[in-house]
Amino acid sequence: PTAPQQHTFQAEVRQLLDIVIHSLYTDKEIFVRELVSNASDALEKMRLKELTEAEVFEKGKTLDITITTDKEAKTLTIADSGIGMTEAELVQNLGTIAHSGTKAFLKAMKEKGDAGPEVIGQFGVGFYSAFMAADKVEVFTRSWEPGAPGLKWESDGQGGYTIEPAEDVARGSKMVLHLKDDEFADKVRVEALLKKYSNFVSFPILLDGERVNTVEAIWLKSKSEVTTEEYSAFYKFIAHAWDEPFYTMHFSADAPLTINSLLFVPGENNERFGMGQMEPGVALYCKKVLIDPKPKELLPDWLRFLRGVIDSADLPLNISRESMQDSALIRKLNQLITKRFLKFLDKQANDEPEKFREFHEKFSRFLKEGIATSYEHKEALAALIRFESSMTDAGKLTSFKDYLSRAKDGQETIYYLTGTSREVIESGPYLEAFKARGLEVAFFTDAVDEYVLQALTEFSGKKLVAADRADIELEDLADDSEKLSEAESSALSEWLAGKLTDRVSGVSIGKRLVESPAVALTSQDSLNPQMRAMMKSMGQ
Ligand code: ADP
Ligand code: MG
């Protein structure tokens, strides 16, 4: 027989394993869910292979997960009849870091300096979590590809691993965990964990020969039949998450399409912490059969933070991922669900403004991205945007709708100013003319706002106009103070223009100022200061 081949782990994996083994004592149990979810993924992929590949090793084999506990040997074995792995896949998948959550975890660790259990709780660390409970892991695997050999991967999680040929390996993967202590070799303990984390796995899970999971498509049930706990458990399962869902939206429709859908807004927006772009996470089902766990076209990109399931009985079961892209049906689903979700948010905003405010704080960047990229949803999205204004107290938020309810008769414009903070905006010279005329000015302080407002252009038919543009015509103020004569005015502007030749394109006498003697304004066709700063920061 061939001698085991030695491999070393990629540096990041070694770093991760070091943390997993030495610093994470709490929440050890999560490894069960990680390994079962990998088994479930492998089975799901196998189900697709059976449909699409002409030749498959051990075709028709039952797709399930078999778990065995052995107290005497202090082992826990998790086996699946999924796609298995070739040698190259073993090296790639169990020797480097593929899992996006794991990458995010390492990054968060670097930033925080220490491993709080809440950090691992948030991400999970995929396969390598096995080493939280085991000091040796053996993986027996055989790929679905005809002719692929049986293989054994083995590691103590220290610096490397070995791969060698193995006899009598069935299709799929079998993870044998040699446990540090026998806690997880206890059937009752493992059963409780499977019920807690893996109840929604859609393949049978057998623990020591007995079926443990109850595979329920809870999105097909009616709202009144599902408890908050069930929603939460399902969210954690489908999103691979450890937090609680922030919003849960469960709805069904019969026309124009038959839809059963269960969508979750996660408890946290990881993109806020520089974790990189999230992948879309709403799975597409047709009558309980998974079509695609992460379809890209099902929802607009800016809804990538949503997790959950959309099940439509109208889909052809054999719809391929390629054909989804240009499917009119998918486009229709996309439209419909996006509209429903925006309506849902609007209702939340009305019913529970405080909670919505928290949502807005965490997720408004996505709504703003939607304004800039989804023309057809612009108006509904803009209605959800909150901001401070010259008529709110500091820290209090308002909306475009409320702005318009306060607007003066005949006011055709929504005025706004952008800046890094409310204080910065208020200390500028632009506000006073509007205040003096009782006109409200919306304040936008997020770095992306300038860009978003330019994309929005109007709300409810009223134009959005930056209050620092030079071409704004404001009505005269009743005013009995002393004024310069026309001759004096033009002499003054000529003199100023002469002094400032290189710095301004023109000087004119205006009626915008109440207290300040002069103000710098952006001419109609030049970039405003925020845009200039943005271009500069992009190196242009
Ligand atoms: P993730 O599941 O997010 O990809 P993991 O660290 O959990 O990350 O797993 C890494 C990779 O190892 C998986 O993407 C998969 O390719 C492979 N893998 C893990 N477990 C199995 C399994 N039981 N069968 C087949 N492949 C597996
Ligand atoms: Mg995984």
pLDDT tens, position by position, 373-421: 999 999 999 999 999 999 999 999 999 999 999 999 989 999 999 999 9
According to DSSP, residue 437 is labeled T
Give the 3-state DSSP-derived string for 87-142, with helices as H, strands as E and coil as C. Answer: HHHHHHHCCCCCCHHHHHHHHHHHHHCCCCHHHHHHHCCHHHHHHHHEEEEEEEEE
In angstroms, what is the span from residue 139 Cα to ligand 2's centroid?
Answer: 15
> 533 versus 502: which is more confidently predicted?
502
Instruction: Identify the pLDDT of residue 7.
Output: 96
| Ligand 1 nearest atom to the CA of residue 94, by list position | 12
Q: Is the CB of 36 under 6 A from ligand 1?
A: no
Instruction: Identify the pLDDT of residue 484.
Output: 73
Residue among 493, 533, 500 nearest 517 (CA): 493
Rounded distance, CA 148 to CA 373, Å?
A: 46
Instruction: Identify the pLDDT of residue 35.
Output: 94
Residue 243 has pLDDT above 70, yes or no: yes
Residue 268 has pLDDT above 80, yes or no: yes
Residue 161 has pLDDT above 90, yes or no: yes
> 66 versus 484: which is more confidently predicted?
66
Instruction: Identify the pLDDT of residue 139.
Output: 98
Residue 184 has pLDDT above 60, yes or no: yes
Rounded distance, CA 514 to CA 507, Å?
A: 18
Instruction: Identify the pLDDT of residue 321.
Output: 58
Paired with 79 in beta bridges are: 66, 174
Rounded distance, CA 469 to CA 489, Å?
A: 21
Containing H/E element for 439?
A: none
Q: Is the CB of 16 under 6 A from ligand 1?
A: no
Nearest CA to ligand 1 atom 5: 126
Grade residue 113 by pLDDT with cuts at 50, 70 and 90: low
Mean pLDDT of 100-127: 66
Grade residue 250 by pLDDT with cuts at 50, 70 and 90: very high
Is 93 annotated in some ligand binding site? yes
Burial of 310 (0-12, 13-18, 19+ CB in 10 A): buried
Paired with 398 in beta bridges are: 387
In angstroms, what is the span from residue 363 Cα to ligand 2's centroid?
Answer: 26
Q: Is the CB of 95 under 6 A from ligand 1?
A: no
Q: Is the CB of 42 under 6 A from ligand 1?
A: yes
Q: Is 499 left (phi over 0), alpha (psi -120 to 50) or beta?
A: alpha
Rounded distance, CA 222 to CA 215, Å?
A: 16
Residue 271 has pLDDT above 60, yes or no: yes
Residues with Cβ within 5 Å of ion ligand 2?
Answer: 38, 126
Q: Is the CB of 126 under 6 A from ligand 1?
A: yes
Residue 437 has pLDDT above 60, yes or no: yes
Instruction: Identify the pLDDT of residue 535.
Output: 61
Q: Residue 83: what residue type? A: I
Instruction: Identify the pLDDT of residue 94.
Output: 95
| b/e burial code for range 4-26 (CB count within 10 A of at least 16 → b) | eeebebeeebeebbebbbeebee
| Ligand 1 nearest atom to the CA of residue 101, by list position | 3
3 state DSSP class of 466: strand
In angstroms, what is the span from residue 159 Cα to ligand 2's centroid?
Answer: 21
As for the ipTM of the complex, it is 0.99
Copy the structure tokens of residue 325: 């892209």
Rounded distance, CA 440 to CA 431, Å?
A: 9
Instruction: Identify the pLDDT of residue 292.
Output: 81
Rounded distance, CA 112 to CA 236, Å?
A: 24
* Average pLDDT value over all residues in the chain: 88
Contact between residue 342 and residue 263 where contact means Cβ atoms under 8 Å apart: no
Q: Is the CB of 173 under 6 A from ligand 1?
A: yes
pLDDT digits 0-9 by tens, 388-400: 999 999 999 999 9
| b/e burial code for range 351-382 (CB count within 10 A of at least 16 → b) | eeeeebeebbebbbbbbbbbbbebeebbbbbb
pLDDT digits 0-9 by tens, 313-328: 887 655 665 566 668 8
pLDDT digits 0-9 by tens, 456-507: 999 999 999 999 887 777 777 666 566 777 788 888 888 888 888 888 888 8
Q: Is the CB of 364 under 6 A from ligand 1?
A: no
Grade residue 428 by pLDDT with cuts at 50, 70 and 90: confident
> 47 versus 478: which is more confidently predicted?
47
* Angstrom distances, CA of residue 233 to CA of 62, 226, 239, 285, 404: 27, 11, 10, 19, 42
Instruction: Identify the pLDDT of residue 123.
Output: 61
Residue among 430, 429, 356, 368 nearest 398 (CA): 356
Instruction: Identify the pLDDT of residue 319.
Output: 62
Rounded distance, CA 413 to CA 460, Å?
A: 10
Contacts of residue 118, Cβ cutoff 8 Å, sequence gap at least 6:
none
Rounded distance, CA 130 to CA 78, Å?
A: 11
Copy the structure tokens of residue 339: 């509209």
